[in-house]
Structure 1
Amino acid sequence: MLRRDQIQAIFRQMAGINEEEWQAFAQHLEEVTFPKHDYLCRAGETAQYLYFIYTGAVRVYHQTEEQEFTLNFHFENEFVTAFSSFITQTPSRVSLQALEQVQASRIHHQHLYNTYQQYHHAERIGRLFAEKLYVQKTNREIDLLSLSAEQQYLNLLQKNPKLISQISVKHLASYLGIHPESLSRIRHKLAVNS
């Protein structure tokens, strides 16, 4: 139960929710564990749950016949779902995979949206998260379009060293839009120059 306090603290900080509002949300939370490599949601499924990660890491990726494209990573104290699918309740175009064992709480789409309808603060939290995700997505797109792979890697290293240390070269290279060999060359070059 102490872990749920993490979620409550985030909600209180964002929107000042009161105990009644928190209980309306918390009564629908379910604790779940996903082993390494297991899926929280697969492409083609409709995302039914929003997850809050207590421990572990999740990769969000899109698969074509030829290639995997890593779109994002999510870590402890972050919310994750296949957001487009979750919002529209249509089949997901992305998969969410545990990169290591993930322990999380989750809430079903219907319960979350019922809470939005009942409580103004809950709806405000949803809006603030959507705004935050939009800003992150826009910044990521700008980086992909305007920065070299080396600059993107250096930015990642500065912003999120945990990402660099926990993620395989294959997945990290996919996130940067380069081949693993290119990432290895970048890492070697930076190690030599440091």
Structure 2
Amino acid sequence: MRELIASFVSLADEEWLAFSKLLLQKSFPKGSFLCREGQIENHIFFLVKGATRNYFLKDGKEFTVDFLFEGDMVTAYYSFITREPSMIAIQAIEDIEAILIPYQLLQDFYLNSHSGERIGRLIAEFHYKKRLEREMALLSTTAEERYAQLMDRNPELIRKTAVKHLSTYLGIQPESLSRIRKSYSRN
């Protein structure tokens, strides 16, 4: 558990002891929701095992905004920081083992520890960086390049993921993704 958290922030033993008391462990079966659209996000999740698909609905159609995998931090961050209902749903696309940080306990840690403030800043920086990278990829890379990047992260899961979910994530039509998949499998 400490190694996973340390990938985001390193803490001295004393600080780790205080912080680790905030953490919960929980399992989520495939298909379950870590957060639903319209729900206020109350946790930050560190994926020990498994993967999620983050999406929103518009006019009855699902738009996938992210896939997150083992070792990633997952949350409906806008909802988490604003305390407003989430605009996205976070669904397990594999069985998940996660470490959870509850909102209120994290807020208390922020107030009582310099390390807490640092953790909060690093979480915010992580989400900003991830969002900027996603925006830049959508504007400056081809769908083929974005697909290859996903395949590099988790090829087995991406091969099993529904074309409709992958195509909205890549910003292309399902027919185009089918062509990309065929071309990718030949190479």
Identify whether the pair has TM-score above 0.5, normalized to the shorter chain. Answer: yes
| Identity percentage of aligned residues | 43
Q: What CA distance in whole angstroms lies between the structure 2 residues aligned with 1:170 and 1:79?
A: 24
Which amino acid is 2:78 matched to?
Answer: S
Maintained 8 Å contact 1:173/1:180: yes
Aligned 1:166-177 pairs, distance under 5 A: 167-177=161-171
Residue number in structure 1 paired with 2:7: 10
Maintained 8 Å contact 1:57/1:99: yes
Residue number in structure 2 paired with 1:188: 182
- With the length of structure 2 as denominator, give the TM-score of the two structures: 0.89
Maintained 8 Å contact 1:58/1:97: yes
Residue number in structure 2 paired with 1:119: 113
CA displacement at 1:166 relative to structure 2: 5.4
Counterpart selection for 1:67 from 26, 37, 61: 61
Segments of 5+ residues of structure 1 without an aligned counterpart are: none
Which amino acid is 2:101 matched to?
Answer: I
Segments of 5+ residues of structure 2 without an aligned counterpart are: none
Aligned 1:31-50 pairs, distance under 5 A: 31-50=25-44
Residue number in structure 2 paired with 1:135: 129
- With the length of structure 1 as denominator, give the TM-score of the two structures: 0.86
CA displacement at 1:8 relative to structure 2: 4.7
- Alpha-carbon RMSD: 2.0
CA displacement at 1:90 relative to structure 2: 0.8
1:156 aligns with 2:150: yes
1:96 aligns with 2:93: no
